Amino acid sequence: MKALVIGGAGYIGSHMVKTLQRAGHEVAVFDNFSTGHREAIEDVKIYEGDLQAAAEIDPVLSGYRPDLVLHFAARSLVAESMVDPALYHANNTCGVMTLLDGMRRHKLDRLVFSSTAAVYGFPQQRRIDESHPTAPINTYGWSKLFCESMISDYCRAYGLRAAVLRYFNASGADPSGTIGEAHEPETHLIPNVLRAAVGRADKVTVFGKDHDTRDGYCVRDYIHVNDLADAHLLAYDALNRADQPDFQLYNLGNGQGFSVIEVLRAAEAVVGRTIPMELADRRAGDPPVLVAGAGKARSILGWTPKIPELHRIIATAWRWHQEQRY
Ligand code: UDP
């Protein structure tokens, strides 16, 4: 199978590239390298370009002619999306439209799209399954929901078959230690905790202990990045199954929530030392609890996370953070 990974130099995209390579597939990456890292991808054909320009993505689609397009190239910071929404609509929303039109023009009909639990907004039930109403509370979530809606329309009207995967909290790193999470600025909890552990930051700031949760700290469902990547390959299989609809939607999470302080304590156990922390106010737009109901991915895709335990997820991230290569 020939795969084109759009945004393949980013955190999740680069793990996808590795997973595809290990499975023996032919892989090419399309990336504008705005936030991704060239060092994160090797032995792969690279097309440098911007998804917002049809003139840049079109020749890649027509020349490489992938069997499957996987789309990871998105802005994904909630706070940034609130102060600069244009960036999110241009990059995420319009980028997808350019891609869909290019795929349509060149008769490419298989897409796996990275979406997010942020489309659900404030959770109305303890575990969020795919039937939970979508009501984003930030521009990032809206930009992804607009994308989902366009993809669903193109499936209905133009013969596209697509799987939308709504990730909960992507985390960890490839167990090889060669690639991992490297955002600048870093806003995610586990890398920030490990940066403090390794001495690249003085301390980790914990946002709020007055949330409506069991211990007052925000609760999230952390899912290993390689388990996410595996789900994309299984989603491709499902796109080729006649008994599955043209437009498919799956939540991806472990179905277990951990509070910020539980993550901190688990990280301390992994690294074998105390990690300095300070308490700060809540971060705007943070829902108190986000935990997946991911039974659909398990039953239809046959997906079983291989690194579901929090301490193992953190251990893979720790290996990366100790010798961060980029
Ligand atoms: N968080 C924190 N300190 C940090 C980063 C995150 O306390 O340095 C909290 C954040 O408020 C949220 C949880 O950790 O409740 C997960 O945040 P992250 O940014 O990793 O993922 P999100 O759920 O926002 O996508």
Give the separation between CA 58 and CA 105, rounded to whole angstroms: 9
Q: Which atom of ligand 1 is nearest to the CA of 190?
A: 20
Which residues, 6 or more positions from 55, have their beta carbon under 8 angstroms from its beta carbon? none
Domain residue ranges in the chain: 2-171+224-252, 189-220+255-322
Give the separation between CA 289 and CA 286, rounded to whole angstroms: 9
Please count the other Cβ atoms lying within 10 Å of the Cβ belonging to residue 202.
10
Per-residue confidence at 212, pLDDT binned at 50, 70, 90? very high
Q: Which atom of ligand 1 is nearest to the CA of 287?
A: 15
Any atom of ligand 1 within 6 Å of the Cβ of 152: no
Any atom of ligand 1 within 6 Å of the Cβ of 209: no
Q: What is the ipTM of this complex?
A: 0.98
**Gap from CA of 260 to ligand 1 centroid (Å):** 7
pLDDT exceeds 90 at position 239: yes
Any atom of ligand 1 within 6 Å of the Cβ of 286: yes
**Gap from CA of 116 to ligand 1 centroid (Å):** 15
pLDDT of residue 110: 98
Which segments of 65-117 does DSSP mark as H helices, in order?
Answer: 78-83, 85-88, 95-105
| Contact criterion met (CB below 8 Å) for 231 and 167 | no
The beta strand positions in the chain, using DSSP E, are 2-6, 26-31, 45-48, 68-71, 110-116, 161-167, 169-171, 204-207, 219-220, 222-224, 247-252, 258-259, 277-280, 289-290
- Mean pLDDT in residue range 187-211: 97
DSSP 64: H
pLDDT of residue 216: 97
Give the separation between CA 154 and CA 136, rounded to whole angstroms: 22
Burial 50-80 (b: 16+ CB within 10 A, else e): bbbeeebbbebbeebebebbbbbbbbbbbeb
Any atom of ligand 1 within 6 Å of the Cβ of 264: no
Which CATH number fits the domain 189-220+255-322, given the four candidates 3.30.1280.10, 3.90.25.10, 3.40.50.920, 3.40.309.10? 3.90.25.10
Any atom of ligand 1 within 6 Å of the Cβ of 193: no
pLDDT exceeds 80 at position 285: no
Q: Whose CA is nearest to atom 2 of ligand 1?
A: 206
Q: Whose CA is nearest to atom 5 of ligand 1?
A: 189
Q: Which fold has domain 2-171+224-252?
A: Rossmann fold (3.40.50)
Q: Which atom of ligand 1 is nearest to the CA of 76?
A: 25
HSE-CB of 59 using CA atoms within 13 angstroms: 7
Active-site annotation, residues: 140
pTM above 0.95, yes or no: yes
**Gap from CA of 219 to ligand 1 centroid (Å):** 9
pLDDT in tens, 100-157: 999 999 999 999 999 999 999 999 988 999 999 999 999 999 999 999 999 999 999 9
Best residue for ligand 1 mutational test, from 78, 139, 207 (most atoms within 8 Å of Cβ): 207
